[in-house]
Amino acid sequence: MFSNTVAVSAQREYDADKIAYIIANHFVSLGIGASLFEGKKVVIKPNLVMKKSPDAAATTHPAMLEGLLKVLNGFGVKPTIAESPGGVYSAARLDGVYRGCGIDKPSEKYGAVLNYDVDAERVDFDGELVKSFNIIKPIADADVIIDICRLKSHSLTTMSAAVKNLFGTVPGIEKFEAHAAYPDYADFNRMLCDLCLMHCTKKSVIAITDAIVCMEGNGPTAGSPKEIGYILTSKNPFASDLLAERIIGFEGKVPSVEISRRRGLCPQSADELEILGDIPQTAENFAQPDTSGGGSVKALTFFSRGKIGRLFMPKPYATSDCRACGECVRSCPKKTITLQNGKARINVSNCIRCFCCQELCPFKAIKIKRNFITRLVGNIK
Ligand code: SF4
Ligand code: SF4
């Protein structure tokens, strides 16, 4: 059912013309042509998790978007760009994120429509875990979704790429509710796979992964940029992520990829992929988030289950960099953070370790404390 082909090109700089050339070639080699777009509603889903400079490596780089828009322009396509960032889903927040991430200018240049419609629509799907999702309206209405993500480490899901990026099709604070509904680490990742599979079943999905400069460490927003130097394109987000986990040296450590393997959504190994173009090298010493510490999917899943396991889970805490802005208080699905004496305080007894607080803190003030036991088993394979 799903393609096992991924087009890959080495690319080390954010040059929109060179990126357009690469994406155009990827489309040709993957058989993506005018017929896919003719008379269709085309929606680009970037990764704009929060208002961040492109240099922070947390969001889709504007040059990637410009390159893609240039290619679509050649097909006569004027797409909509739609994203539900972290936090409240409002037109004002969307505007701030579009401008703050620098995607307003390329959109204007190529006549793309920035979405400000904050309606959503429930879509039924017979998933392994989830039977329906509430989806932002432009994505629910789309015929073609172009999922253009930045490759990053991720405190909760270990890696964020094409599959995780589609979690941003769930509106605003309903994402926090999903964290509360699926506190179990494995279930949250099963939900992500169901969501991506739903889109792939109902629409044409093209996954483009920006791995020119990735984020390592405490991604998706509190890590550090790391130059890797690739662009990946595939008609199968699961296959693209299988290769992405190898590129950053996370093979066997990304739960959503493990689930994709088990469910037959991608091959068992990246060796079985058909790679068109450059064969990517695996990066050395790509830092994992503090939450994983090198642990395998098995170890992480064990520690996310049951009362005893949770006792040993890594714990978030606010450092002296906290400026009491209250963003984490508003983002916490368990309402377990309060502001006291000018600083965020986390009551960890009610914490489900979703790490939304770390993801959405604008000042990188949330750190993760791991105890002796989890450090010890961190390297269980
Ligand atoms: S920890 Fe971060 S998000 Fe929370 S109040 Fe402090 S600065 Fe704001
Ligand atoms: S304190 Fe942070 S990690 Fe814990 S439930 Fe709240 S947002 Fe999630």
Q: What is the pLDDT of residues 65-82, one digit of tens each?
A: 999 999 999 999 999 999
More confident residue, 180 or 242: 242
Question: Is 282 part of any domain?
Answer: no
pLDDT value of position 306: 59
Q: How far is ligand 1, taken at its centre, from the CA of residue 329, in Å?
A: 8
Number of domains in the chain: 2
Nearest partner of 55 among 218, 232, 208, 213, judged by Cα: 213
Where residue 115 sits, what CATH number does that domain have?
3.40.50.11440
Q: Is residue 241 part of a domain?
A: yes
In a domain, 191, yes or no: yes
At residue 208 the predicted structure's pLDDT band, cuts being 50, 70 and 90, is very high
- Of the pLDDT bands very low, low, confident and very high (cuts 50, 70, 90), residue 380 is very low
Residues, the chain: 381
Atom of ligand 2 nearest to the CA of 334: 5
Cα–Cα distance, 72 to 2 (Å, whole number)? 24
pLDDT score, position 183: 87
Q: Which residues span the domain enclosing 118? A: 5-277
CA nearest ligand 2 atom 7, residue: 332
Residues 164 and 302 in one domain: no
pLDDT, one tens digit per residue, over 295-329 is 555 555 555 555 656 666 788 999 999 999 999 99
The average pLDDT across 161-178 equals 94
Instruction: Give ligand 1 pocket residues (Cβ under 6 A).
Output: 318, 322-328, 344, 361, 363, 365-366
Per-residue pLDDT tens over the stretch 4-33: 999 999 999 999 999 999 999 999 999 999
- In this structure, is the dihedral angle defined by the CA atoms of residues 293, 294, 300 and 303, taken in order, positive or negative? negative
228 and 304 assigned to the same domain: no
Pairing mode, strands 204-216 and 224-234: antiparallel
- The domain spanning residue 304 has which CATH number? 3.30.70.20
Taking CA atoms only, the protein residue closest to ligand 2 atom 4 is 351
**Burial (0-12, 13-18, 19+ Cβ within 10 Å), 315:** middle
**108 lies in the same domain as 249:** yes
State yes or no: pLDDT of 190 exceeds 90. yes
Atom 8, ligand 2: which residue's CA is nearest? 354
- 218 and 302: one domain? no
Query: What's the pLDDT score for residue 315?
Result: 87
Place of tokens 């604070």: 173
Report the residue among 361, 364, 367, 368 best suited for mutation to probe ligand 1: largest number of ligand atoms under 8 A from its CB.
Answer: 361
Question: 219 and 325 share a domain?
Answer: no
pLDDT bracket for residue 381 (50, 70, 90): very low
Ligand that lies nearest to the alpha carbon of residue 344, given by its number in the listed order: 1
Shared-domain flag, residues 120 and 33: yes
The bound ligand whose nearest atom lies closest to the alpha carbon of 175 is: 2
pLDDT, tens digit (0-9, with 9 covering 90-100), for 216-231: 999 999 999 999 999 9
Dist CA 26 CA 250 (whole Å) = 25
Nearest CA to ligand 1 atom 6: 322
Pocket of ligand 2 (CB under 6 A): 316, 331-334, 336-337, 346, 351-357
